[in-house]
Homo-oligomer: A and B are copies of this chain.
Amino acid sequence: MACTNNEILETFEAALAQLRVPEEPELLYMPIIYSMSGGGKRLRPVLLLLTTEAFGGSIEEAMSAALAVEIFHNFTLLHDDIMDNADVRRGKPSVYAKWGGNVALLSGDAMLISAYKYLARISSDVLPRVMNIFTDMALEVCEGQQYDMDFETISKVSVEEYMQMIERKTSALLSGSAMIGATMAGALEEDVKKIYRFATELGLAFQLQDDVLDSYGDTALGKKIGGDILEGKKTYLMVQALNRASAEEREVLCTTHRRTDISDAEKISIIKELYDRLDVKRIAEQQIELRFERALAVLDTLSIGGERAATLVEFARNLMGRKK
């Protein structure tokens, strides 16, 4: 009987609670524990473990790889917060805000190295292949972050470029995790490729939904709405809008967040009005639906049979906040 998503999460959290780091130097290792115990949805290790189980692999054997991807994910957050000058992470002070840039930098380095330390513990017969997947994935995440920063200073970003950026920045870590899980279970090469496509499409749907929710989310959930708009961030909505706007509208899209004569609420309202006029929310929702359906469709084609992938369907639905 396959484990549910929640059971896998609990198993992973139990393993994570056993994570030990040296006591000294304190400023190198304390931020690692602070960061790793700061919550988070553990999406990547859960996906890795679910995938390995779906292909008949052992959760116990894959656990150190699951720890590796979660440590890697948290490493990216430490360094992203330096680059983005971000003071808050998961409702708490970021490592960057709490200890400063140098500590976040060096502790982050130690986390990246520690991720490989855990990776090195997996069975030696799959280690070379898993290391290659992990390393390619890690480089893609760096590429995604660089493109994201590049986009801040480029006036014209195409929708295709945007999709390529989030495929690296968001999907790569999900697809890499899923591929590692499948590889560790000895899955067929063609199934590993399908799992890659499943997680890539799902990651795109997830990121686009995140972009939409930042502007159109439910304020009742306590989430601040419009943060991306106020930062002038090039989200999917903004990129689509810029590509569909008249010269005049483009000017408004580009400059409103910098205005000092109006309130934040007014800025958000101006931009969302333009989004509505340019119909970009609907376009985004269509794209989310398309990607999500594609992701699920891939699972039906796995050689192990669709029913073995039921927990992956559950994962995908949970990720998108869908009941069915």
Contact = CB atoms under 8 A, between A and B. Distances in A.
Interface string A96-126: 0000011001101110111011011000110
A181 to B, nearest CB: 19
Contacts of A222: none
Given A127-B124, A143-B25, A112 B112 contact: yes
A109 B112 contact: yes
A33 interface: no
Contacts of A128: 120, 124, 127
A125 B324 CA distance: 47
Contact of A105 (B27, B105, B114): B105
Determine chain A's interface SS by DSSP, over half rule.
Answer: helix
B83 A102 contact: yes
Contact of A146 (B25, B83, B131, B150): B25
B106 A28 contact: no
B82 A146 contact: no
Number of chain A interface residues as a range: 35 or more
A107 to B, nearest CB: 8
Interface stretch (A134-142, A186-194, A249-257, A290-298): A134-142
A42 to B, nearest CB: 22
A88 interface: no
Nearest to A119: B131
A126 to B, nearest CB: 10
B110 A83 contact: no
B135 A116 contact: yes
A139 B77 CA distance: 19
A145 interface: yes
Interface of A: 22, 24-25, 27-28, 79, 82-83, 101-102, 105-106, 108-110, 112-114, 116-117, 119-120, 124-125, 127-128, 131-132, 135, 138-139, 142-143, 145-147, 149-150
